[in-house]
Amino acid sequence: MIPAPFEYYRPKNTAEALKLLQKVKGARLLAGGHSLLPAMKLRLSSPGALVDIARIKELSGIKSVKGGLQIGAMTTHAAIGASDVVRKICPVLAETAGNIGDLQVRNRGTIGGSIAHADPAADYPTLMLLLGARFTVTGPKKKREIKADDFFVDLFTTALKRGEILTSIYVPAESAAVYLKHRHPASSFAVVGVAAAIAMKNGKCDRVAVAIGGATAVPVRAGAVEQALSGKEPTSANLDRAAAAVAQAIKSPLSDSYASGEFRTHLATVMARRALTQVAAKAR
């Protein structure tokens, strides 16, 4: 219930935050705190110092830009869920954000914090993978852009280097995508989360994207499913056949006392078919 002692800093801007990360030994970034603080309260994590960037204004905000949205890393789930701009340009993002955790969590949790934390049971990473998001990462010397495809490396591990801050997220526009999740009845985290998008052309599936989270250490694109459906009509039989290929994407599934790896793989298959069915109806 009570964290071990630590030092606390609240920099006024990103530059100051970067300096602190360099200077202070064992410093970790604090965003919404709803992943980090619970871990610290259980003493599963005891960083020597926290650098609070949640209130840095330049890190928050939602802008409509060419081809999509530019979202500040410190933008809360509640803000994203309620944003008319997001609802217009990428409704699945608003729906997903509005369904993370609970009302109180959404008021504090941030998109950047969630993505940088890379919890396999989180929702954003799966969606970012589906949408082909790009992350702006600011380091002490330079900025770089990392594709979502390359960002999630392992359980709670990302491509962020020591001293870097995820500052902004570019989310491509997407009008017909769906994210379904099977919520853990206690924690509400995604036991399995499936995101799907289809772009149609002449009554056939032109571009298909399916991303699966929760079942493995990092979210994965189900390439075999995408290929199986690509160029085909979204008939029930074709959707069934495509979804059956989900298992190929899931290697070494996670397992716990609520859901085994085998069950997660099965759920992912069912949910993929349902997501594709829903999104095919939307895409028409």
- Residues in contact with other proteins by CB under 8 A are 1-8, 10, 30, 33-34, 37-38, 40-43, 50, 52, 54, 78, 82, 101-105, 107-108, 182, 184-188, 257-260, 263, 266-267, 270-271
d(Cα 62, Cα 52) in Å, to the nearest integer? 20
Identify which of residues 227 and 258 has a Cβ nearer to other proteins in the complex. 258
Identify which of residues 3 and 223 has a Cβ nearer to other proteins in the complex. 3
Identify which of residues 202 and 257 has a Cβ nearer to other proteins in the complex. 257
The Cβ of residue 273 has, within 10 Å, a number of other Cβ atoms equal to 21
Identify which of residues 185 and 203 has a Cβ nearer to other proteins in the complex. 185
Tokens coding 119: 């919890």
Identify which of residues 200 and 276 has a Cβ nearer to other proteins in the complex. 276
- Of the CA atoms within 13 Å of residue 274, those in its CB half-sphere come to 12
Q: What angle do CA 182, 185, 190 make, to 5 degrees?
A: 35
Least CB distance to other proteins at residue 104 (A): 5
Q: What is the DSSP letter of 74?
A: T
Least CB distance to other proteins at residue 207 (A): 27
Least CB distance to other proteins at residue 186 (A): 4
Least CB distance to other proteins at residue 241 (A): 16
Least CB distance to other proteins at residue 134 (A): 29
Identify which of residues 13 and 187 has a Cβ nearer to other proteins in the complex. 187
Least CB distance to other proteins at residue 182 (A): 7
**Residues with Cβ < 8 Å from 104, sequence gap 6 or more?**
none
d(Cα 277, Cα 234) in Å, to the nearest integer? 8
* Long-range contacts (CB closer than 8 Å, 24 or more residues apart) made by 33-39: 33/108, 33/113, 34/101, 34/105, 34/108, 34/109, 34/113, 35/109, 35/113, 35/114, 35/117, 35/119, 36/113, 36/117, 37/3
d(Cα 260, Cα 262) in Å, to the nearest integer? 5
